[in-house]
Amino acid sequence: MIHLNYNNLETETQERLLSKSKEEIQSKFGDELKVFSKQHELNYDELLYEEAVKNLYNYKFKFQI
């Protein structure tokens, strides 16, 4: 059995998955993240990026070879 994680994927695939993860985080927690970033004077885009990366490690990858 082969186990792959996000880092083992090609750059194009990583970017696509990160984009999808950002959309998912924005739809679930976008308003909360905006409020949090304003309260703590953080950059919203950087906070969104960090949360999207964390979210990627919750994904389960399935490949057909």
In this predicted structure, the answer to whether residue 24 has a pLDDT above a threshold of 80 is yes
In this predicted structure, the answer to whether residue 46 has a pLDDT above a threshold of 80 is yes
Per-residue pLDDT at 52: 92
Q: Does this model's pTM top 0.85?
A: no
For residues 50 and 15, the answer to whether their CB atoms sit within 8 Å is: no
In this predicted structure, the answer to whether residue 8 has a pLDDT above a threshold of 70 is no
Per-residue pLDDT at 14: 82
What residue spans define the domains of the chain? 18-56
Helices (H), the chain: 11-39, 44-56
Q: Residue 56 half-sphere exposure, CB side, CA atoms within 13 Å?
A: 21
Residue type, 51: E
